[in-house]
Structure 1
Amino acid sequence: MMDPIVATASGQVRGATRNSIYVFKGIPYGASTAGRGRFLPPQKPEPWSGVRDALRYGASSPQPEGGLGVMLSLSGGAEPEPLSEDCLYLNVWTPALNDGGKRPVMFWCHGGGFTMGSGSAGFYEGTNLARRGDAVVVTVNHRLGALGYCYLGELAGEEYAASGNVGMLDLVAALEWVRDNIAAFGGDPGNVTIFGESGGGAKVSILMAMPDAQGLFHRAIIQSGPALRVSPRAKATHRAEKLLRELEIAPGDVERLRDIPIERLFEANARINPNALAGWGPVMDGVVIPNQPFDPVAPAISANVPLLIGTNKDEITLFTLADTGLATLDEAGLHARVSQFAGARADELIAAYRDAQPQGTPANIYTAIGSDRMMRINSITLAERKYAQGAAPVYMYLFTWETPILNGRLKSTHALEIPFVFDNLAYAVGFTGGSGPELQGIADAMSEAWLAFARTGAPGPNWPAYTPEERATMIFNRESRVEHDPAGPQRQAWGDMLINGFSE
């Protein structure tokens, strides 16, 4: 079989064929962001003559040392690729080319907060999903960390007004590429679903509130990543000032910041942000992101976009593996931990979770509370605010299957659902502890539901839309089922506490 060649707006690309699916890797959707492009909105890629090979993933955005390796090891590995400011690349998996097909397009935003990750992780390989659903799958790299979210608008002038959100504008540019080119890859530019997990879910939340993204997607899926809020300008400016001070650069001397070697930038960033996943993220700058995404209400500009949203039962366990005090946690320690964020309502919150787990250890109770605090409560809040618009349906899920690895310590942890959604269990044996018919049944149910939602805006006839009255939630496990208001008393115990999650 001859190598597939497709003409894009910038030039022709040559892909490969894998298991009857056409695969194109490392297609540029934007120019390099190095040098004069640093901190500025993305530009169109330079056109090329002849045929460009699209056989290897493109470079990933520079990120904390070791960060990409950690993210890729958690998500099935990937082909080793460099880190570079020339990182605006995307990948396409499709069953057919130039056939006039109107296949749903599934546009994946990778996880890793806003500072780590890549669209080339093994979990995200799109062959199985594209073949199963006769769909086109797209994954994308974009700017991360300070390169994508350092807000210089109030320090360096109007030219840098968008600097706090250029990483999100990269995603808009990739969606514009999809709009302009995906028909040649057999996809329908009028039926694009944006979906993502963790930081990727937060990116989906924020794209729903961005005027520049309006009309570029038609459905949205948020997996364990509800972003109700982003950083206000004052906080983002303070963050940028800290970086400039660490680099000994005057606020007005942005040329030095733009020209400084990337290694020095990351060394300074590590000193002011020791937590690799924290520190940088989108900014409510009044232009690119004019309002808080889902606070106090859902964004009007995406009111007509159907939403599928959900979480995993034990989100926090991935992040508490190194918590040496958790195994010996006692009741006093549990109360002290919960009081840090619940204040005077700690006793009420602990009691509600204790009622659901009367034999649970303090560590079990903390895991349940911490997991809901981390993702589930905000996901419910986001769903309620989306429902209140009355313009498009909302669907809720809860993933509860538990992995046996590490003697069961991870339970139903953060990111565990991804290989099931992508039908990529072969990449996930180290995470799932195995494969086989039982796990494949979960993958069948999840991937088919995601594909049905991408195709029609509804995940299937046996999955009712979410309402505050019924709270229908699809529980994904060995036998999936709809449950109304799962863990309702625990949900009610949170009351009106707003837990910002990814936001600030």
Structure 2
Amino acid sequence: MTADPTTRNTAVGRPVVETAHGPVRGVDDGTVQAWKAIRYAAAPVGDLRWRAPQPPQPWSEPADAGRVGPVCPQPTDPRIPIDLGAPQGEDFLSLNVWAPSGTRAGDAKPVMVWVHGGAYILGAASQPLYHGAALAAGGDVVVVTVNYRLGALGFLELVTLGADPERFATNVGLRDVVAALQWVRDNIAGFGGDPDRVTLFGESAGGGVVTALLGSPAAAGLFHAAIAQSSPATSSYDTGRARRVATRFLDVLGIGSGELDRLAALPIATIVAASRTVFDEVPVNTPGTLAFAPIVDGDFLPDYPVALARQGRTHPVPLIIGTNKNEAALFRYMKSPLMPVTPESVRAMFAEIAAEQPTVRLPSASDLDGTYRGRKKVRGMGVSSDLGFRMPSIWFADGHRAVAPVYLYRFDFATPVLRLMRLHAAHATELPYVWGNLVAGRKDPTFALGGRKAGQAVSERLRTRWVNFAAHGTPTGGAGDPEWHPYDAERRPTLVIDKEDSVVDDLDAEVRRAWGDDVLSFR
């Protein structure tokens, strides 16, 4: 059902939009209009906890959409001090919309739909980092941020243990994002957006959602361009690995595979605690892997995303894809086992891959020595960054460019503080620049030693390219910015985003020679 695309103001600064499920009343501060915590699906409680997303109950009176709503229940980690922007709660399948003030129904502005990261277990659409005012108003676009099920709620595959697939659907977190995209298709015109110009973009696990949905038949036609920032594109697993995780999850709860009916009634805190236990165990036991991630179920996700791209089976939409220069530095700083960075953990990761995939060609010691020069720990971080993020992005780009234009980038910019902390352009450091939210609060140290002026310029250039891509399908820059050509087999041009941007041909030649063209699917 498509909503009647009308917007009406019942009071100054409180725009009301009719949606397919009922009217919502937002706020207008003179720069942007915002509607927050709009339900796109029913609360996943009780029998709906692991079902595919269901429509919310319709309403007739304008729902207050002036503030963010609950976020997906999740564990807290002192090493990752995320400001979720809202309390946790079970009625969290909602989204937030920003549009420039003055936008009206039928304006048909480009739409950018954001999927947050967090290793498929953390994060929220309401994080202050993802406040959409600067991106929407500065780029004259409509911005949507989406909550989806995380951890065991979104990626626990109980079907692998014989569960009823209706009550325990596969890839529930991905299905939530598809439901949100369907909501955008049916309703965004009323907020001034163009349902035929939707760009799906995300970072880290959110980037993994993007590359997965590029190969999912269920997402066909729901977005028309895509941006995958630091996508762990090869961190999708088979049903055997998913079965082992599900078995362990039930062991932690003390529930047998024949007692799955008990799960719907368990307190959410119990589910979250078990999620945390399994999430922490898996990368210790199998380095370089996640407990909760998309799986190849043969239906919603018919094959591994990189394999689908290399088979020419991804949706033919333009794609920006890339990574940060020093991805693994964040995981070293946090002392997180999610990415192995020590020589011992890297060797363990290679042994695990070799045991599971004996036909895959792994780099030899001489390959690694030639490519990752320097101290052993630095080499370990380089190997992890390239295995976890850089090479999967290149493999995906090499496949997807056969069906649509692909633009490859690397984010290199780092402030003096980040360089002093040895983080440099670590994982997720590009996010403030994408969103134009460069300072997260009075205690944000990012620019304590300078670099603010350069950072603002980086943000302006990056947002210009992202917005132009959403509007026209090509990531053109401003006057004087280098021309960014599509990725091809001859030149392999890569945009390097730094204090001054540049386009470098075959930036990754040495790394590609070390890793070759074999795709590590993590089967």
> How does the TM-score come out when normalised to structure 1?
0.89
Give the letter aligned to residue 332 of structure 2.
T
CA distance in 2: counterparts of 1:497 and 1:350, whole angstroms: 19
Post-superposition offset of 1:46 = 1.0
**CA separation of 1:324/1:82 partners in 2, compared to 1, >3 Å: closer, same or farther?**
closer
Q: Which runs of structure 2 are paired with 1:167-182 in the superposition (5 Å)? A: 167-182=173-188
Of the candidates 144, 155, 164, which is equivalent to residue 161 of structure 2? Answer: 155
CA distance in 1: counterparts of 2:326 and 2:173, whole angstroms: 29
| Identical-residue share of aligned pairs (%) | 38
Post-superposition offset of 1:301 = 5.3
Post-superposition offset of 1:4 = 1.2
Of the candidates 291, 294, 297, which is equivalent to residue 282 of structure 1? Answer: 294
Q: Which residue of 2 aligns with 1:243?
A: 249
Post-superposition offset of 1:338 = 4.8
Q: Which residue of 2 aligns with 1:348?
A: 367
Give the letter aligned to residue 323 of structure 2.
T
Q: Which residue of 1 aligns with 2:426?
A: 413
Q: Which residue of 1 aligns with 2:379?
A: 365
Q: Is 1:152–1:160's contact at 8 Å kept on the other side of the alignment?
A: no
Residues paired across the two proteins, number: 482
Q: Is 1:397–1:473's contact at 8 Å kept on the other side of the alignment?
A: yes
CA distance in 2: counterparts of 1:43 and 1:324, whole angstroms: 36
Q: Which residue of 2 aligns with 1:430?
A: 445
Q: Which residue of 2 aligns with 1:385?
A: 399
Q: Which residue of 2 aligns with 1:25?
A: 36
Unaligned stretches of 5+ residues in structure 2: 1-11, 284-289, 351-361, 478-482
Q: Which residue of 1 aligns with 2:71?
A: 60
Give the letter aligned to residue 82 of structure 1.
P
CA distance in 2: counterparts of 1:98 and 1:150, whole angstroms: 41
Give the letter aligned to residue 283 of structure 1.
I
CA distance in 2: counterparts of 1:381 and 1:439, whole angstroms: 30
Q: Which residue of 2 aligns with 1:82?
A: 87
Post-superposition offset of 1:235 = 2.0
CA distance in 2: counterparts of 1:245 and 1:337, whole angstroms: 26
Q: Which runs of structure 2 are paired with 1:247-396 in the superposition (5 Å)? A: 247-274=253-280, 278-295=290-307, 297-298=309-310, 300=312, 302-323=314-335, 334=343, 338-341=346-349, 345-354=364-373, 360-387=374-401, 389=402, 391-396=403-408
Post-superposition offset of 1:63 = 1.1
CA distance in 2: counterparts of 1:53 and 1:347, whole angstroms: 62
Q: Is 1:425–1:435's contact at 8 Å kept on the other side of the alignment?
A: no
Give the letter aligned to residue 247 of structure 2.
E
SS of structure 2 residue aligned to 1:396: strand
**CA separation of 1:267/1:211 partners in 2, compared to 1, >3 Å: closer, same or farther?**
same
2:515 is the alignment partner of 1:482: no
Give the letter aligned to residue 91 of structure 2.
D
2:409 is the alignment partner of 1:403: no
Q: Deviations over 1:251-306 (max 9, x none)?
A: 13221012111222233333333259831122211222122222164465544211
Q: Which residue of 1 aligns with 2:455?
A: 439
Higher alpha-carbon deviation: 310-319 or 143-152: 143-152
Higher alpha-carbon deviation: 47-56 or 343-352: 343-352
Q: Is 1:29–1:90's contact at 8 Å kept on the other side of the alignment?
A: yes
Post-superposition offset of 1:229 = 5.5
Q: Is 2:84–2:123's contact at 8 Å kept on the other side of the alignment?
A: no
Q: Deviations over 1:339-391 (max 9, x none)?
A: 4445771232122222xxxxx4443333333322221111111100112x2x3
Give the letter aligned to residue 318 of structure 1.
L
**CA separation of 1:271/1:487 partners in 2, compared to 1, >3 Å: closer, same or farther?**
closer
Q: Which residue of 2 aligns with 1:44?
A: 55
Q: Is 1:162–1:285's contact at 8 Å kept on the other side of the alignment?
A: no
Post-superposition offset of 1:9 = 1.1
Give the letter aligned to residue 169 of structure 1.
R
Q: Is 2:215–2:315's contact at 8 Å kept on the other side of the alignment?
A: no
**CA separation of 1:102/1:40 partners in 2, compared to 1, >3 Å: closer, same or farther?**
same
Q: Is 1:59–1:87's contact at 8 Å kept on the other side of the alignment?
A: yes
**CA separation of 1:297/1:97 partners in 2, compared to 1, >3 Å: closer, same or farther?**
closer
Higher alpha-carbon deviation: 479-488 or 392-401: 479-488
Of the candidates 210, 216, 222, which is equivalent to residue 222 of structure 2? Answer: 216
Higher alpha-carbon deviation: 255-264 or 197-206: 255-264
Q: Is 1:393–1:465's contact at 8 Å kept on the other side of the alignment?
A: yes
**CA separation of 1:305/1:487 partners in 2, compared to 1, >3 Å: closer, same or farther?**
closer
**CA separation of 1:171/1:432 partners in 2, compared to 1, >3 Å: closer, same or farther?**
farther
Post-superposition offset of 1:91 = 0.3
Q: Deviations over 1:157-186 (max 9, x none)?
A: 444476231111111110011011100000
Give the letter aligned to residue 469 of structure 1.
E
2:35 is the alignment partner of 1:16: no
> How does the TM-score come out when normalised to structure 2?
0.86
Q: Deviations over 1:184-219 (max 9, x none)?
A: 000000110000000000000111111111110010
Q: Is 2:308–2:314's contact at 8 Å kept on the other side of the alignment?
A: no
**CA separation of 1:235/1:436 partners in 2, compared to 1, >3 Å: closer, same or farther?**
closer
**CA separation of 1:87/1:126 partners in 2, compared to 1, >3 Å: closer, same or farther?**
same
CA distance in 1: counterparts of 2:368 and 2:227, whole angstroms: 29
Of the candidates 1, 13, 32, which is equivalent to residue 2 of structure 1? Answer: 13
SS of structure 1 residue aligned to 2:372: helix
SS of structure 2 residue aligned to 1:273: helix
Of the candidates 109, 118, 130, which is equivalent to residue 112 of structure 1? Answer: 118
Q: Is 2:13–2:28's contact at 8 Å kept on the other side of the alignment?
A: no
Of the candidates 482, 485, 490, which is equivalent to residue 464 of structure 1? Answer: 485
SS of structure 2 residue aligned to 1:87: coil
CA distance in 1: counterparts of 2:197 and 2:161, whole angstroms: 40
CA distance in 2: counterparts of 1:417 and 1:361, whole angstroms: 26
SS of structure 1 residue aligned to 2:177: helix
Unaligned stretches of 5+ residues in structure 1: 355-359
**CA separation of 1:322/1:26 partners in 2, compared to 1, >3 Å: closer, same or farther?**
closer
